Amino acid sequence: MEPKLILIAGPYRSGTGDDPDLLDRNLRRLEEAAWPIFRKGHVPMIGEWVALPVLSSAGAEGLDDPLAEQVMYPTAHRLLQHCDGVLRLPGESRGADQDVAIARERGIPVWFTVDELPDAAAVA
């Protein structure tokens, strides 16, 4: 099996009130899935890895900036045009639910645990 680009979807802003420490905690939780996905031979992707630098370079002051609406969800939507699957982590998240809906519309797989992902050229 060829390596796949896997979008990691889960809570980022949900329940944080945009508190920087809570946002960082949620991002680290998303990132915890990156290594296991990579070990299975795939390429992990998190929308915030792309959206946050885009938002910053656009001059946004933070997630409450009006530009955030034009960047955060649209970035994930664009990424899903290139992803081969979605790993949906637990937790309430409107954005992650949207990612799953888009993936299903596109007919790409959605997994709920890393163990469900098929192996590709795994890294030891």
Q: Looking at residue 100, which CATH number applies to its domain?
A: 3.40.50
> Residue 32 domain-assigned?
yes
Q: Residue 93: what pLDDT?
A: 96
> Residue 24 domain-assigned?
yes
> Residue 70 domain-assigned?
yes
The one-letter amino acid code at 61 reads E
Does this model's pTM top 0.85? My answer is yes
Domain enclosing residue 47, as ranges: 5-116
Q: DSSP letter at 49?
A: H
> Residue 124 domain-assigned?
no
> Residue 46 domain-assigned?
yes
The helix/strand/coil state of 9 is strand
Instruction: Report the domain count for the chain.
Output: 1
Q: Residue 99: what pLDDT?
A: 96
**Residues 51 and 75 sit within 8 Å (Cβ to Cβ):** yes
pLDDT tens-place values along the chain, 124 residues long? 899 999 999 999 999 999 999 999 999 999 999 999 999 999 999 999 999 999 999 999 889 999 999 999 999 999 999 999 999 999 999 999 999 999 999 999 999 999 999 999 655 4
> Residue 112 domain-assigned?
yes
Q: Residue 123: what pLDDT?
A: 54
> Residue 98 domain-assigned?
yes
> Residue 123 domain-assigned?
no
* 3 exposure class (CB count in 10 Å sphere: 0-12, 13-18, 19+): middle
What sections of the chain are H helices per DSSP? 20-31, 34-39, 47-57, 67-79, 94-106
